[in-house]
Amino acid sequence: MPFIWTTTPRPIVALAPMAGVTDAPFRRMLKGIAPDVLLYSEFVSTNALSFGSRKTMAMLAFDPEVERPLIVQVFGADPKKFLEACRIIGQLGADGIDINMGCPAGKIISSCYGAALIQKPELAAELVASAVRAVSIPVSVKTRLGWDCAETLIPFCKRLIEAGASALAVHGRTYRDKFSGKADWEPIYALKREVGVSVIGNGDIVSAEDAVLKIGNLDGVMVGRAAIGNPWLMRDICYALRVTRSSFPGKTRNPERATRNERGQDGRAVSFAEKIPIILEHCELAVRLKGERRGILEMRKHLAHYIRGFDGAKELRVRLMKAERLEEVKGVLEKLFNG
Ligand SMILES: Cc1cc2nc3c(=O)[nH]c(=O)nc-3n(C[C@H](O)[C@H](O)[C@H](O)COP(=O)(O)O)c2cc1C
């Protein structure tokens, strides 16, 4: 069955695209814990794809049996390159293409990619139209509230929809905010009231309760940073939102009541003993897909997050951060667990 935004089961719980994080090992590991999650890839360059960069092509590898639905996120600003790059992604069997119009990084903005497109709505619409022409899978956009205020959000998104965007994920901060302050979800609810396409809210969800409180009138929620080192959160959110929605079908929910009554996945914290096999599975996947040296090197940042808050022996934690081989990681985790 092809992936279609309007018919995919509600509420949608999406893993936010995160460069250097949401690669194939992370996505596969996550699907084992939370099978209902909608996956976004790391962002990939349409320029690099259009000239056949092997490194970028390698970033597109995914397991179609496990990593589904998978939305591949792209960035760039050249409609011709978008056409070529999106064709490649379509042929690889992705379920959707998402265009990054929210990244605030200096290098991205100076090339007129990411959030810079908020200031160029006509070019942004042209990129959407190019992607839509290239593929039969749906094209969506992930953006921010605006450049320096939320007033442009609705007209900007309406222009993207006219060009063919079938869903929008909105991070409740402006470009100027970068990652500071608190995400504001009110403009996202207002957007949903104005448009007919799927709208997903994003920003500062750190618990299942947050997701229940924030989903409002939206089609779904998207979670980024809080899933790093805590993929179990995604399972808790799926559970909490499903229970809440089925308790209040078609009604405006009272979120206070909902969170009191329905805790995520029975409200129990996952013990370190339960986490270890998943952490190891994540490491093994990284080693299998990227080779031992690179796989373990890239796993270090995840390992740091996995053991955050764990009061284990300091030197063991240091050893974990310096590990170069899978066996070393296994040994340290066992010692950490056994004390
Ligand atoms: C390490 C990291 C990498 C990110 N990479 C991307 C990216 O490639 N594309 C994108 O649209 N957003 C990216 N983001 C932004 C997230 O998708 C998300 O919008 C943001 O973190 C806010 O959500 P959160 O509060 O749930 O983390 C990234 C964020 C982080 C922390």
List the residue whose alpha carbon is closest to atom 18 of ligand 1. 224
> 119, 203, 104, 195: which is closest to 157 by C-alpha?
195
Atom of ligand 1 nearest to the CA of 204: 25
Nearest to 105 by CA among 171, 224, 19: 19
* CA distances, 32 to each of 29, 85, 204 (Å): 5, 30, 24
pLDDT at res. 266: 52
Quote the pTM value. 0.94
283 assigned to active site: no
195 torsion bin: left (phi>0), alpha (psi -120 to 50), beta (else): beta
Distance CA 171, CA 93 (A): 27
Ligand 1 neighbourhood includes 17 CB (under 6 angstroms) = yes
| CA pair distance 315, 132, nearest whole angstrom | 53
* pLDDT value of position 246: 72
Nearest CA to ligand 1 atom 15: 18
Residue 202 CB less than 6 A away from ligand 1? yes
Which listed residue (103, 157, 238, 283) is catalytic?
103
- pLDDT, residue 264, reads 40
Q: Which two tokens stand for residue 311?
A: 């009061």
| pLDDT tens across the length of the chain (339 residues) | 899 999 999 999 999 999 999 999 999 999 999 999 999 999 999 999 999 999 999 999 999 999 999 999 999 999 999 999 999 999 999 999 999 999 999 999 999 999 999 999 999 999 999 999 999 999 999 999 999 999 999 999 999 999 999 999 999 999 999 999 999 999 999 999 999 999 999 999 999 999 999 999 999 999 999 999 999 999 999 999 999 877 654 443 444 443 333 334 455 678 888 999 999 999 999 999 999 999 999 999 999 999 887 776 688 888 899 999 999 999 999 888 787
Cα–ligand 1 centroid distance for 37 (angstroms): 16
Cβ 42 under 6 angstroms from ligand 1: yes
Q: How many CB atoms lie within 10 A of CB 37?
A: 22
